[in-house]
Structure 1
Amino acid sequence: MAYEMLVGLEVIDDDNYQAYRQAMKPILITYGGGFAVDFRVSEVLLPQAGANINRVFTIYFRDETAKNDFFADDDYLKVKARYFETSVASTSILASYERG
């Protein structure tokens, strides 16, 4: 079963965030991952406490183990430190689930 997450972000630097997505995508693919949908959000009617969201997407992996391995991957962590940490102010995991 595939493993999927619904994620909300507050992106504060679009160019750097796009560089992050481009750099991490080849690593994500090696874990059987990808993006199913991706939205820029103009208005949040009911935010989670303390989180601003202007980007929502689903990210998937071949299974939960692949998800855990991806987020622990040394190459991914280097990309995250270089691009993600300076381009995203907050992250909200809205849902995570197995998809059949």
Structure 2
Amino acid sequence: MGFQRIMALHVHDEAEYQAYRDAMLPILHFYGGDFAYDFTVSKVLKSKTNSQINRVFTIDFPSEAVMDAFFNDEAYLSVKQRHFDASVTSATVIGLHETE
């Protein structure tokens, strides 16, 4: 069983967000994680949040414990602080679930 996180973001600085993705990807791969789906969206038809959304993606992990370890990793948190916080207005967790 794996574990998947479904996310929605409002990215306001594409170049800085790409720097975040480039810097965090080796850390994500170290934990056995990867992006399964990644969409840039232009129109949201329904949402439970008032935040704007222009990016939707899924991240797959081997387990929930591994996902938690990744998001608490000091190297990841440093990358997030440097690039993610400077490029993303809002982040919404759409879902978390086990995968087969």
Q: TM-score, normalised by structure 2?
A: 0.97
Structure 1 residues 90-99 or 48-57, which shifts more?
48-57
Aligned length: 100
Q: Please say if 1:69 is aligned against 2:74.
A: no
1:1-100 alignment to 2 at 5 Å?
A: 1-100=1-100
Runs of 4 or more above 6 Å deviation? none
Question: CA offset at residue 51 of structure 1?
Answer: 1.5
> 2-side partners of 1:80 and 1:48: how far apart?
25
Query: What SS does the aligned partner of 1:7 have?
Result: strand
Extract unaligned runs of 5+ from structure 2: none
> 1-side partners of 2:45 and 2:22: how far apart?
30
Identity value in percent = 47
Extract unaligned runs of 5+ from structure 1: none
